[in-house]
Amino acid sequence: MLPHALPPAPCAYGGEAEPEERQEDGFCNRHPDGRFPAATDTAVDAIRFAASTVDQLRDYLEPERAAILEPAGLLAAAGASIAFGSDWPVDALDEWFALKVAVTRENAPGAGARYGGRLGRDRGLTRLEALRAITIVAARALHHDEAVGSIEVDKLADLALLDRDPLSIPPADLANVKVKETVVGGRTVYRADR
């Protein structure tokens, strides 16, 4: 997971932060009541398990902060909207693995003993929160939610048909979801059987 993508705790930031609240590193102080300051604020997260970054940060952070690297679940529980972004083309674009990591907070099985297991104590996102983060909340963060991000009348007919229901499978199986068909603008542009 990429710790540079989210602030270390629910806080006032972005348009809601007063200049005197901003710290030198761009992060803000925790909001006094611990909540995210406004429903219009969105934390953008590039979910993946970046082992080298985790190692580097553990050397500099006190244990309490290191235990909540990538606090997407804590932020969501505090009322923040979480939108997924990516570091593609720096990293491979594997959105289903990213969704699995967002929910389970676990690395790939072949990551080895040092980077295996769960990252920190953050609860992670629910499957529905993770799916919303990659669809409607991401569209809202880009100011395109009037056209994309959900299936509604008068929106673009962009959607993917999946081989299983991501809301009903075990969270660890999210990384194995396959796209069977992709429709863009109401026209099929990809079919797995072709």
**pTM of the prediction?**
0.72
pLDDT band at 66 (very low <50, low <70, confident <90, very high): confident
Order of strands across the sheet with 159-162?
159-162, 179-184, 187-191
* Lowest-confidence segment of 46-60, 69-83, 123-137, 149-163 by average pLDDT: 46-60
* Confidence (pLDDT) at 122: 87
**Distance between CA atoms of residues 146 and 133, nearest Å:** 16
Residue 99 in tokens: 């969704």
* Confidence (pLDDT) at 45: 64
* The Cα angle at residue 190 between residues 88 and 148, in degrees rounded to 5: 65
**Distance between CA atoms of residues 83 and 97, nearest Å:** 16
**Distance between CA atoms of residues 136 and 194, nearest Å:** 29
Closest CA to 54 of 106, 123, 15, 110: 106
Encode pLDDT of 118-142 as tens digits: 888 889 999 999 999 989 998 988 8
Encode pLDDT of 101-119 as tens digits: 889 988 877 777 777 778 8
Q: Where are the alpha helices (DSSP H) in 82-173?
A: 95-104, 127-134, 136-141
User: Taking the C-alpha atoms of 106, 181, 158 and 77 in order, what is their torsion angle to the nearest 10 degrees?
Assistant: -20
Distances (CA, A) of 151 to 27, 39, 185: 35, 22, 12
pLDDT band at 3 (very low <50, low <70, confident <90, very high): very low
**Distance between CA atoms of residues 182 and 115, nearest Å:** 34
**Distance between CA atoms of residues 32 and 35, nearest Å:** 8
**Rg for the chain (alpha carbons), in Å?**
18
DSSP readout, 36-76? -S-TT-EEEE--S--HHHHHHHHTTS-HHHHTTSS-HHHHH
pLDDT band at 166 (very low <50, low <70, confident <90, very high): very high
Q: DSSP code of 88?
A: T
* Confidence (pLDDT) at 113: 76
Give the strand pairing for 42-45 and 81-84: parallel
